[in-house]
Amino acid sequence: MNQIKYLFHYKKYGMLRYLSHLETMKMIDRALRRTGIELKQTEGFHQRTKISFAQALPTGIIDLAGLFVVTTFEEIDVSRLKEANKLCPRGCEFVKAEKVDEKFKLSRFVDGYEFKLIFLKEPEDASFDIEKKGEIWIARIFRSFNSSIPKNGEYGQFLTIRSQAITGGAN
């Protein structure tokens, strides 16, 4: 059977930001299983889908730039993805699934991430790139792949959002 490698882009928001990385992985695995799409499994007796996730997020952060790679035995078109989204709990959404090369590696694909820190009062750290929007202040920061992620409240921020993945690297 033909194997196809897919790069999934997903969002995780609302109450689901309180899932740990492991819980997120499990939640996504089970959502994919419910679709009935035939997915490559890991070796060994206990059933697990072979999924590679990009960099883990600490609990509490909203993720608009989640990425993972799976191998399927069938095409996933837009309508299939739409169906899959109906099988996700509220707060989890597959944005797109793109075919990638067999040798595709997330660690080479992602250069880093942009984070948005939401403040309810003007932040003290002046080194941020800050924008005021109504009653809140939004600071943007960039972190390279696999470097430390701003923890919730670390800078006195009210909320942390992983807003986008910066890609275009060596793949």
Q: Which listed residue (7, 8, 11, 19) binds other proteins by CB under 8 A?
A: 19
Of the two residues 87 and 166, which places its CB atom closer to other proteins in the complex?
87
Distance, in Å, from the CA atom of 139 to the CA atom of 58, rounded to the nearest integer, reads: 19
> What distance in Å separates the CA atoms of residue 78 and residue 97, rounded to the nearest whole number?
8
- By CB under 8 A, the residues from 130 to 159 that bind other proteins are 152-153
CA distance 77 to 66: 19
- CA–CA–CA angle 19, 25, 29 (5° rounding): 125
Number of H helices, E strands in the chain: 3, 8
Q: Applying CB under 8 A, does 50 fall inside the site for other proteins?
A: no
Stretch that binds other proteins, among 19-27, 68-76, 119-127, 131-139 (CB under 8 A): 19-27
- Under the binding rule (CB under 8 A), the answer on residue 70 touching other proteins is no
Least distance between other proteins and beta carbon 129 (Å): 24
Which is it for the CA torsion 150, 27, 80, 37, positive or negative? positive
In three-state form (DSSP H/G/I as H, E/B as E, the rest C), the secondary structure along 54-103 is CCCCCCCCEEEEEEEEEEECCCCCHHHHHHHHHCCCCCEEEEEEEEECCC
- # binding residues, other proteins (CB under 8 A): 31
Under the binding rule (CB under 8 A), the answer on residue 54 touching other proteins is no
Determine if 121 is a binding residue for other proteins (CB under 8 A): no
With CB under 8 A as the contact rule, the residue among 6, 7, 11, 29 that binds other proteins is 29
Q: Is 46 in the site for other proteins (CB under 8 A)?
A: yes
Sites of contact with other proteins (CB under 8 A):
15-16, 18-20, 22-23, 26-27, 29-34, 36, 41, 44-48, 59-60, 87-91, 152-153
